[in-house]
Amino acid sequence: MQSSEFIPSPRFDDQPELGEIKINHNVVASIVRLAALQVAGVAGVGGGIVDGLSELFSKRRESDHRGVRVTETDSDSYAIELRVIIKYGAEIAKTAYEVQVAVRKQVIAMTEKDVAKVDVIIEGVRLPSEPSQSADKSEDLWPDSPSTD
């Protein structure tokens, strides 16, 4: 007979004889960015003019974590701040909450490290761009003109 006790599986980072596993904050920022972009109502993740200027003057490309700041708290958990652009028509408070939940869930799932907080800053609202409509409008400039082909 087997015992009905639950024996948790060992965590990969609980094995000190093999060495340490550290996750770069840029990797966590990439996870945050991708998780936020999966939420309906999010048009983009990115910072304002300060992030844009810092990317211009930096030697390496930082677009994969632009608009995301990851720090560690004293209790060895992540504190995350991200800046998002919301699609026009989306409910801002609901979308921001869904971003917080999605980011927290994905970071915990991938890093096995707790997330103390996820601060969401709404940087703007983006209108939907529909290229098919702009093409149709150019054809309708002179709807009553005769064709001279």
Q: Does residue 108 form part of some domain?
A: yes
Q: Does residue 54 form part of some domain?
A: yes
CATH number at residue 85: 3.30.70.1350
Q: 110: closest CA among 9, 8, 24?
A: 24
What pLDDT is stored for residue 128 in this prediction?
A: 73
Can you tell me which residue has the tokens 């800053």?
121
Residues contacting residue 25 through CB under 8 Å, at least 6 positions apart:
65, 70, 71
In this structure, what token pair is assigned to residue 53? 């200027």
Residues of the chain with pLDDT under 70: 1-16, 47-65, 130-149
Longest dimension (CA), the chain: 90
Q: Does residue 143 form part of some domain?
A: no
What pLDDT is stored for residue 135 in this prediction?
A: 46
Number of domains in the chain: 1
What pLDDT is stored for residue 18 in this prediction?
A: 79
- C-alpha–C-alpha distance, residues 58 and 62, integer Å: 8
Q: Does residue 38 form part of some domain?
A: yes
What pLDDT is stored for residue 84 in this prediction?
A: 96
Q: Does residue 44 form part of some domain?
A: yes
Q: Does residue 144 form part of some domain?
A: no
Q: Which structural domain, as residue segments, surrounds residue 121?
A: 14-128
Three-state DSSP class for 20? coil
Q: Does residue 137 form part of some domain?
A: no
- C-alpha–C-alpha distance, residues 140 and 144, integer Å: 9
- Give 115's strand partners: 78
Q: Does residue 103 form part of some domain?
A: yes
